[in-house]
Amino acid sequence: MVPGKQYSQHVVYVDESGDHSLESIDPQYPVFVLAFCVFHKNHYATRVVPALESFKFKHFGHDVVVLHETDIRKERGSFRFSSRPHKEAFLDELTGIIEANNFILIASVIDKMRLRERSENPYHLALGFCLETLYELMQEKGQDDLPTHVVVECRGRKEDAELELEFRRICAGENRFGSPLPFEVVFADKKTNSTGLQFADLVARPIGLSVTRPGQVNRAFEVLTRKFFCSGGRKQVGTGFDGWGLKIHPAPESERPR
Residue 214's pLDDT is 92
pLDDT at 59 over 60: yes
- What lies within 8 Å, CB to CB, of 84 at 6+ separation is none
Which tens digit of pLDDT belongs to each residue from 227-256? 999 855 544 444 445 567 999 998 765 444
Residue 231's pLDDT is 57
Long-range contacts of 26-32 (CB under 8 A, 24+ apart): 28/212, 29/208, 29/212, 30/111, 30/112, 30/113, 30/212, 31/109, 31/110, 31/111, 31/112, 31/208, 31/211, 31/212, 32/109, 32/110, 32/112, 32/122, 32/123, 32/126
What distance lies between CA 158 and its chain's CA centroid?
A: 22
Distance from the first to the final alpha carbon of the chain? 49
Q: Could you give the CA distance from residue 210 to residue 145 in angstroms, rounded to a whole number?
A: 35
Residue 120's pLDDT is 78
Which tens digit of pLDDT belongs to each residue from 90-100? 999 999 999 99
Which tens digit of pLDDT belongs to each residue from 26-35? 889 999 999 9
Calculate mean pLDDT across residues 50-74: 97
pLDDT at 191 over 90: no
Domains of the chain, CATH where assigned: 12-255 (3.30.420.10)
pLDDT at 143 over 90: yes
pLDDT at 22 over 90: no
Residue 24's pLDDT is 81
Average pLDDT of the chain is 90
Q: At 118, is the pLDDT very low, low, confident or very high (cuts 50, 70, 90)?
A: low
pLDDT at 4 over 90: no
Residue 2's pLDDT is 58
Distances (CA, A) of 217 to 84, 87, 186, 190, 213: 17, 17, 35, 30, 9
